[in-house]
Amino acid sequence: MAPPRFETDFLPHHGQAIEVAPGVQRLTATNDGPLTFHGTNSYIVGGTSVAVIDPGPEIESHYLALRKALRGREVSHIFVSHTHKDHAPLAARLASETGATVVAEGPHRAARDLYVGEVNPLAESSDQDFRPDIQAADGEVFEGDGWALRVVHTPGHTANHAVFALEKEAILFSADHVMAWATSIVAPPDGAMSDYMASLDKLLDRDDRIYLPGHGGPVADPPQFVRALKTHRKMREAAVLDRLRKGDRYIADMVKVIYRDTDSRLHRAAGLSLLAHLEDLLRRDLVETEGPPSITGVFTLKT
Ligand SMILES: [Zn+2]
């Protein structure tokens, strides 16, 4: 099985709501960046009464473009895939101005308990104030005017990550779990590699025809792409084990080799991704470290 072929051809049409499927519009925010690609995709689902998926980051022009796209339509629900600041913050404002019900898996939380003295390096990236009106159960279905969305819990990128399926149309709003342009960031303590891999398997049991992600364009062949993502992570895990075998002890040294072709602005995220692999390997008793696993810790193969 080959690693994924990423699709980076994407026209964001910032400021304009673009129809991407019958009854589905995409509006991309202007928060371009190395982790966000051309910006966060907000989606509008329905006709005269709609659901909004991921209202997006606190950017005034994006909020105004969203309100313009929603003019003359009732917003009954707001779905939030996870609590990162590029997806969740506008939910509260949009809900207070439209009366919509906010649906999500839950407030922000880490994937595991923090160790004594551990400072969460990711605290700044999440909307800690976010509180949904409804904490949706896995598999729960919400209906509106001409649409029905099923909530599917997909922890991994964050502990509270969920995707939303428009099942009649076989469309899955895959948010940051599966994206066509790049792999998703899995960084402890908010993210967990073992959860992420299980959430990929969960999608393979479904038969969605197309994914509409939180950043970039659609995933056209979901089963093949998801299997390729799994291959990619297994190859990365093999690379970590190989570096340990060759004598690397520190994540910083592994990043230099494993991510030598990657934009250096992403090396911090890359280090956290390797920590996610190492935490998974520790859990499976293949690796050891002294004390709690950390980005600056010493890791060795278990003999
Ligand atoms: Zn995210």
Compute, in angstroms, the gap from residue 127 CA to the centroid of ligand 1: 11
Compute, in angstroms, the gap from residue 173 CA to the centroid of ligand 1: 13
Q: pLDDT at residue 1 above 80?
A: no
Q: pLDDT at residue 117 above 90?
A: no
Q: Is residue 274 part of a domain?
A: yes
Q: Is residue 13 part of a domain?
A: no
Question: Of 127, 118, 66, which is closest to residue 97 (Cα–Cα)?
Answer: 66
Give pTM, 2 decimals. Answer: 0.95
Residue 6 has a pLDDT of: 94
Q: Is residue 7 part of a domain?
A: no
Strands 41-46 and 141-144 turn out to be: unpaired
79 strand-pairing partners: 53, 103
Per-residue pLDDT, averaged over 206-220, amounts to 97
Compute, in angstroms, the gap from residue 191 CA to the centroid of ligand 1: 10
Compute, in angstroms, the gap from residue 98 CA to the centroid of ligand 1: 25
Domain identity same for 191 and 252? no
Q: pLDDT at residue 48 above 80?
A: yes
Domain identity same for 219 and 267? no
Kindly state the percentage of the chain with pLDDT values over 90: 91
The CATH number given to whatever domain includes residue 98 is 3.60.15.10
Q: pLDDT at residue 52 above 90?
A: yes
Residue 128 has a pLDDT of: 95
Task: Determine the structural domain holding residue 241 and report its residue range.
Answer: 233-301
What amino acid is encoded at 154 in this protein?
A: T
Question: Please, which contacts does 291-295 make with residues 24 or more away whose CB atoms are closer than 8 Å?
Answer: 291/115, 292/115, 292/116, 292/118, 293/188, 294/115, 294/118, 295/121, 295/251, 295/271
Listed residues: CB within 5 A of ion ligand 1: 84, 176
Compute, in angstroms, the gap from residue 158 CA to the centroid of ligand 1: 7
Last residue of a domain, one of 229, 253, 281: 229
Per-residue pLDDT, averaged over 9-31, amounts to 96
The tokens 């090396």 sit on which residue?
Answer: 267
pLDDT band per the 50, 70, 90 thresholds, residue 249? very high
Compute, in angstroms, the gap from residue 177 CA to the centroid of ligand 1: 8
Q: In this structure, what token pair is assigned to residue 88?
A: 């969740």
Residues whose CB falls within 8 Å of the CB of residue 288, separated by 6 or more in sequence, listed in order: 282, 299, 300, 301, 302
Per-residue pLDDT, averaged over 95-102, amounts to 98
Residue 184 has a pLDDT of: 93
Compute, in angstroms, the gap from residue 36 CA to the centroid of ligand 1: 8
Q: pLDDT at residue 121 above 90?
A: no
Q: Is residue 131 part of a domain?
A: yes
Compute, in angstroms, the gap from residue 302 CA to the centroid of ligand 1: 33
Q: pLDDT at residue 2 above 90?
A: no
Domain identity same for 209 and 240? no
Measure the CA dihedral 127/90/38/138, to 10°.
70
Compute, in angstroms, the gap from residue 181 CA to the centroid of ligand 1: 14
Compute, in angstroms, the gap from residue 72 CA to the centroid of ligand 1: 30
Number of domains in the chain: 2
What amino acid is encoded at 97 in this protein?
A: E
Kindly state the percentage of the chain with pLDDT values over 70: 100
Compute, in angstroms, the gap from residue 111 CA to the centroid of ligand 1: 14
Per-residue pLDDT, averaged over 248-269, amounts to 92
Q: Is residue 9 part of a domain?
A: no
Compute, in angstroms, the gap from residue 22 CA to the centroid of ligand 1: 26
The CATH number given to whatever domain includes residue 281 is 1.10.10.10
For 66, what's the count of Cα atoms within 13 Å in the CB-facing half-sphere? 32
Q: In this structure, what token pair is assigned to residue 221?
A: 């062949």
* Burial zone of 85 (CB within 10 Å; 0-12 exposed, 13-18 middle, 19+ buried): middle
Q: Is residue 10 part of a domain?
A: no
Domain identity same for 250 and 202? no
